[in-house]
Amino acid sequence: MMKTEIAQFALSLIISPFLFGVVNRTKAIFAGRRGAPFLQLYYDIFKLLKKSAVYSTTTTPVFIAAPIISLGAVIVALSLVPFAGYRSLVSFENDLILFIYMLALSRFFIVIAALDTGSSFEGMGASREVQFAVFAEPALFLSLVALARAAGQMSVSDIFSRSAFSLWSSYGPMVFLVLGAFFIVFLAENSRIPVDDPNTHLELTMIHEVMVLDHGGIDLAYTLYAAAIKFWLLGSLLIGVFFGPQTFGWGIDCVIFVVSMVVLACIVGIVESTFARLRLLKVPHFLIVALALSVVAVILTLR
Amino acid sequence: MSITLLSLGILIASGCLAFALNRSDRLSGYAGSGGVIIACVCGLLSLVMVFKFSASASLNLPWHVPYGSFSVSIDKLSALFLAVVYILSALSALYGLGYLRHYHGKKNIGSSWLCFNILVAGMATVIIARNAVLFLMAWEMMSISSFFLVLFEGENRQTAHAGLMYLIASGIGTFFLFTVFILLAQNAASFDFAGFGIKGNDPARSAAFICALIGFGTKAGIMPMHVWLPEAHPAAPSHVSALMSAVMIKTGIYGLLRILTFLGMPCPWWGYLLIGIGIITAVLGILFALAQHDLKRLLAYSSIENIGIITIAIGIGVLGVGINNYDLAVIGFCAGVLHVINHAFFKGMLFLSAGSVYYQTGTREIDLLGGLLKKMPVTGVCFLIGSIAICGLPPLNGFISEFLIYLACFRNVSANGVTAVISMSVIVSLALAGAFALACFSKAFGIIFLGQPRSDYCYKACEAGVRMGMPLVFLAAACVISGICAAYIMPFIGSAVSAVAGTPSAEAVEIISSVNSPLIYVAIMGVSFCALIALIALFRGLLLNRRAVEYGPTWDCGYAFPSARMQYTGSSFSQPLIDFFKGILRARKKGARVTGYFPDRLSFETHTDDIFAESIFRPMQAAVHALAGRLAWFQHGRLQSYILYIFIALIILFMWKL
């Protein structure tokens, strides 16, 4: 029975960069442009993989190791995330801790690689990244706690394999709040508007993009791919709330799941086109909204 | 047992020898540290017997000290703590041999080694003592020798102040310990631990618990009794601060666990209390760590955070026993003891690497350092491993103990009522502390070891030699191995904590085997993560094969003349968080108001004082001072009146006895 799990895992690895194409196309349509092809990120990654490398003389091997470790960490995290309500590649008791801490490991290395360049721009990005994580991480934890309590389970696969209908019917308002919190954390962790703007590199307000300013070639390809996978795995948690197990058979379920991920990407594109980025000082407040939503969600499960 | 006593003998003898050889700094260094290393190896060998044959050795000799008896014993709980003491002491001693070379001819090396060896002997005796008088004597031996070690550079005003603060704090702590033992010995025939125990619903039980919490908490650094810790740890020489932070404060945790075995069935509110102060200690500890500019002070505050995590775990254990949930109890206590061991490894290593940095550069100011990874690669990589471990990131050992605490909580998330709320608050505060720790240690590692040197202090730095490097490498390896092999040591820990958890040893091992499967999964995931990284790195290597790798300056967005001083500093890195939490941290800022178009000189400084020291202990000290001032008329130096006081006191005593 491992076949489907491996197939799902491979499928997520392959499809994830596609979603960025969807986001960018949505934004282009809103801006009245034709936009880049859907597969643009694949082209970018392949092109970058063909390049040679340029490193700053300031950097140390940490700078080279960081994209590798961060990509490895998100892939391990991906293996813990369920797909369309089906079990993930690996699942065990309490695996959601490993999931969140793998993302934290990836963040740690991106941050120290940014500090490794000695550039004050990247230092700024790194500083903001760790600041916002302080608010986003507890919110993510609490949302998962609320779901875990509702499901009575402690592994990501078990939490999300509960049929969506029974979850919504017995814990409707709670799930609604958790969705809100997830969405905010999803936007923040993937450096999306209104927290961060992925479009511009060189402004003082940037976070993720400015941290990878000095990466090039293969390193940048790894970083971009890691970002795409992270988008996929946090997105699939969000979508996972809607998905129960086996409703129409594996094939159709997978198609529905991927279509919903594309819809999510469209929503992100719409948010990016219609909202402005928040002032940096306001971002913590925005993230605290997520924290507050998840606290209320937890309280709702306590009845 | 005899080997353990022999190792204590070696410690004291070699300490005295080092003191006697005071004329030659080199010889006394060899005598002192060599003695510690030999004694620790002997001690570790004797522990193998305990673990291998589950034989708890004990020895009971009469002693002419009133109420005392020389009664010592090693059970599994003692053995685990002793192992930590021995390993860390041996490594710190080896490191100290190199570190103190710097002070040869300037300081009294022999007496420093004497104190060091007494400190090690004191810690070992505290852990094996089974008589209250012996315990307290060893406890004081440990406190006083470490007080002298803190005063190693006592001519420095700040160091002297730190030492004094430490002495007062440990005095207060010991006072509460006396109370604990007197309460416990109420119904017992002697002060031997064997007869201790308060049964039933005696309020003395709770009183003893509170006193133990204050007394041992002062040593461990539980908030708000931690105020001495961020002063004393940076002031001591680095091998001593490593030993103090990695091991000595853990004797407080050991004491608390030992006392819990005498108190019978704990009330649930003890668990709530422990978890509550644990949460405060963990979150505030790491928040204050983030605000520090001094590397060793940062590490000291991070020790407070980790003590908070350990306290949370023990609180979960106590709560579990209190509500008859032995699953929760055993996992909680195991997580606590495992974190004691893990923290000893990584914090010992971090303090030792901080010592190497200080030794080579002459400053502990984070904002003056930078780019040291190129000059001190071994120290740097060890510090990186320590940082990953202390942030609780997989696959290293810090993750395992936090994972167990989370596991205990998640198993109770679906419970009813208070337990669920407690579990959730533990989960969210651990998450918060973890995120702060990540900020704190990415700052510490990133600013000190990466980027470009920020001042002239860094230019002459190089590796600090084999003696100071070897302990680091050993501890780094320990962090990795104990991270991967956690599932194998859990049964030992399970049977060690069974006495505290009030379950038979076999049952505790059975409960702990229920967490084996997730731990093995974590280990497998850790190994496959490493394999995956290797694969990705290999792929990169294959692609880059025969392609040109060029080097140039960091891309600086078009600005032509970047300098090292334009880099982000530790202060600027942590500024957003510090500002956001200014309500708690109350950082003081000075300077930096820009006026005019071309300001030529600006200075800016921030200081983050400890709020507990400033808002609780300073007023308290002022009050004591004022009260003492009021009583000054009583002590005026006239001998006749003093004799009168004695006379009056005697009469009162006579009357009372009549």
Q: Closest CB to B393: pick one of A101, A137, A149.
A: A101
Mutate one of A9, A89, A108, A147 to test the B interface: name it (highest B CB count within 10 A): A108
Residue B155 placed within a domain = yes
Average pLDDT along chain A: 89
In this prediction, residues B44-65 reach a mean pLDDT of: 78
Q: Closest CB to B393: pick one of A71, A108, A145.
A: A108
Which residue does chain B place closest to A143, by CA atoms?
B428
Q: Closest CB to A126: pick one of B528, B549, B573.
A: B573
Residue B354 placed within a domain = no
**Predicted confidence (pLDDT) at residue A247 exceeds the cutoff of 70:** no
The helix (run of H) or strand (run of E) holding residue A54 is strand A53-56
Which residues in chain A touch residue B555, judged by CB atoms under 8 angstroms apart?
Answer: 56, 117, 119, 213-214
Which residues in chain B touch residue A95, judged by CB atoms under 8 angstroms apart?
Answer: 518, 521
Minimal CA separation from A156 to chain B, in Å:
12
Residue B560 — very low, low, confident or very high, per pLDDT cuts 50/70/90?
low
How many Cβ atoms from other residues are within 10 Å of residue B489's Cβ?
17
* CA–CA dist A84, A249 (Å, integer): 11
Q: Closest CB to B399: pick one of A73, A76, A101.
A: A101
In this prediction, residues B175-200 reach a mean pLDDT of: 83
DSSP tally for chain B: helices H, then strands E = 26, 5
Rounded (to 5) percent helix, strand, coil in chain A: 70, 0, 25
In this prediction, residues B97-105 reach a mean pLDDT of: 87
Task: Give one DSSP letter per residue of A216-250, joined into a string.
Answer: -HHHHHHHHHHHHHHHHHHHHHHHHTT--S-SS-H
**Tally of domains in chain B:** 1
Inter-chain CB proximity A57 and B577 less than 8 Å: no
Which residues in chain A touch residue B424, judged by CB atoms under 8 angstroms apart?
Answer: 142, 145, 298
Q: Closest CB to A57: pick one of B540, B553, B555.
A: B553
Residue B17 placed within a domain = yes
* CA–CA dist B455, B53 (Å, integer): 56
Minimal CA separation from B538 to chain A, in Å:
10
Task: Give one DSSP letter per residue of B465-497, joined into a string.
Answer: -HHHHHHHHHHHHHHHHHHHSHHHHHHHHHHHH
pLDDT at residue B299 in the model: 95
* CA–CA dist B285, B307 (Å, integer): 9
Which residues in chain A touch residue B394, judged by CB atoms under 8 angstroms apart?
Answer: 98, 101-102, 105
**Predicted confidence (pLDDT) at residue B187 exceeds the cutoff of 70:** yes
* CA–CA dist B511, B326 (Å, integer): 8
Name residue B35's amino acid: G
Name residue B615's amino acid: S
Q: Closest CB to B522: pick one of A98, A111, A154.
A: A98
pLDDT at residue B55 in the model: 62
Inter-chain CB proximity B577 and A73 less than 8 Å: no
Inter-chain CB proximity B450 and A133 less than 8 Å: no
Inter-chain CB proximity A54 and B370 less than 8 Å: no
Find the domain containing B32 and state its range: 1-205+233-252
Residue B161 placed within a domain = yes
Query: What confidence tens digit (pLDDT) does each residue in B368-382 have?
Result: 998 899 999 999 999
B510 closest CA partner among B322, B373, B651, B327? B327
Which residues in chain A touch residue B436, judged by CB atoms under 8 angstroms apart?
Answer: 134
pLDDT at residue A106 in the model: 95
Lowest mean pLDDT among B122-126, B224-228, B278-282, B414-418: B414-418
pLDDT at residue A204 in the model: 63
Inter-chain CB proximity B532 and A75 less than 8 Å: yes
Which residues in chain B touch residue A122, judged by CB atoms under 8 angstroms apart?
Answer: 568
- Angle, helices B326-361/B76-99, rounded to nearest 10 degrees: 10
Residue B99 placed within a domain = yes
The distance of Cα B363 from the centroid of its chain, to the nearest Å, equals: 23
Residue B314 placed within a domain = no
| Cα-based distances in Å from B582 to A134, A280, B378 | 15, 17, 37
Inter-chain CB proximity B391 and A133 less than 8 Å: no
How many Cβ atoms from other residues are within 10 Å of residue B455's Cβ?
15
Query: What confidence tens digit (pLDDT) does each residue in B470-528 have?
Result: 999 999 999 999 988 888 888 888 888 888 888 888 888 888 888 888 999 999 999 99
Residues 474-533 of B with CB under 8 A from A: 515, 517-518, 521-522, 525, 528-529, 532-533
Mutate one of A48, A75, A120, A213 to test the B interface: name it (highest B CB count within 10 A): A120
In this prediction, residues B292-312 reach a mean pLDDT of: 95
Which residues in chain B touch residue A118, judged by CB atoms under 8 angstroms apart?
Answer: 370-371, 450-452, 554, 562, 564, 567
Which residues in chain A touch residue B379, judged by CB atoms under 8 angstroms apart?
Answer: none
Inter-chain CB proximity B435 and A137 less than 8 Å: yes
Q: Which residue in this structure is represented by tokens 């000189």?
A: B601
Average pLDDT along chain B: 89
The answer to whether B383 contacts chain A (CB < 8 Å) is no
Inter-chain CB proximity A137 and B567 less than 8 Å: no
Whether the CB-CB separation of B404 and B341 falls below 8 Å is answered with no
Strand, helix or coil at A279? coil
Q: Identify which of A152-166, A264-278, B37-51, B501-515 has the greatest average pLDDT.
A: A264-278
Residue B243 placed within a domain = yes
Query: What confidence tens digit (pLDDT) does each residue in A125-178 have?
Result: 899 999 999 999 999 999 988 888 888 878 888 888 766 667 777 788 888 899
Inter-chain CB proximity A148 and B413 less than 8 Å: yes
pLDDT at residue B491 in the model: 86
Which residues in chain B touch residue A78, judged by CB atoms under 8 angstroms apart?
Answer: none
Which residue does chain B place closest to A79, by CA atoms?
B525
Q: Closest CB to A130: pick one of B410, B424, B438.
A: B438
pLDDT at residue A202 in the model: 61
Query: What confidence tens digit (pLDDT) does each residue in A18-55 have?
Result: 999 999 999 999 999 998 999 999 999 999 999 999 99
Inter-chain CB proximity A104 and B391 less than 8 Å: yes
Minimal CA separation from B387 to chain A, in Å:
10
Query: What confidence tens digit (pLDDT) does each residue in B345-370 have?
Result: 999 999 999 999 999 998 999 999 98
The answer to whether B582 contacts chain A (CB < 8 Å) is no
Inter-chain CB proximity B544 and A52 less than 8 Å: yes
Which residues in chain A touch residue B452, judged by CB atoms under 8 angstroms apart?
Answer: 58, 118
The answer to whether B561 contacts chain A (CB < 8 Å) is no
* CA–CA dist B605, B590 (Å, integer): 5
Question: Residue B586 region, left (φ>0) first, then alpha (ψ -120 to 50), else beta?
Answer: left
B141 closest CA partner among B6, B12, B7? B12
* CA–CA dist B3, B48 (Å, integer): 11
Inter-chain CB proximity B566 and A137 less than 8 Å: no
Query: What confidence tens digit (pLDDT) does each residue in B237-271 have?
Result: 999 999 999 999 999 999 999 999 888 888 889 99
Name residue B620's amino acid: M
The answer to whether B425 contacts chain A (CB < 8 Å) is no
Residue A94 — very low, low, confident or very high, per pLDDT cuts 50/70/90?
confident
Which residue does chain A place closest to B414, by CA atoms?
A149
In this prediction, residues B442-459 reach a mean pLDDT of: 91
pLDDT at residue A252 in the model: 86
pLDDT at residue B193 in the model: 84
Minimal CA separation from B470 to chain A, in Å:
22
Inter-chain CB proximity B414 and A59 less than 8 Å: no
* CA–CA dist B303, B591 (Å, integer): 31
Residue B135 — very low, low, confident or very high, per pLDDT cuts 50/70/90?
very high
The answer to whether B646 contacts chain A (CB < 8 Å) is no
pLDDT at residue A245 in the model: 66
Q: Closest CB to A127: pick one of B533, B549, B576.
A: B576
Which residues in chain A touch residue B431, judged by CB atoms under 8 angstroms apart?
Answer: 100, 137-138, 140-142
* CA–CA dist B608, B77 (Å, integer): 38
B251 closest CA partner among B160, B342, B366, B123? B123
Which residues in chain A touch residue B511, judged by CB atoms under 8 angstroms apart?
Answer: none
Peptide bond into B518 cis (omega under 30): no
| Cα-based distances in Å from B608 to A172, B210, B227, B605, B612 | 45, 30, 13, 10, 12
Whether the CB-CB separation of A224 and A44 falls below 8 Å is answered with yes
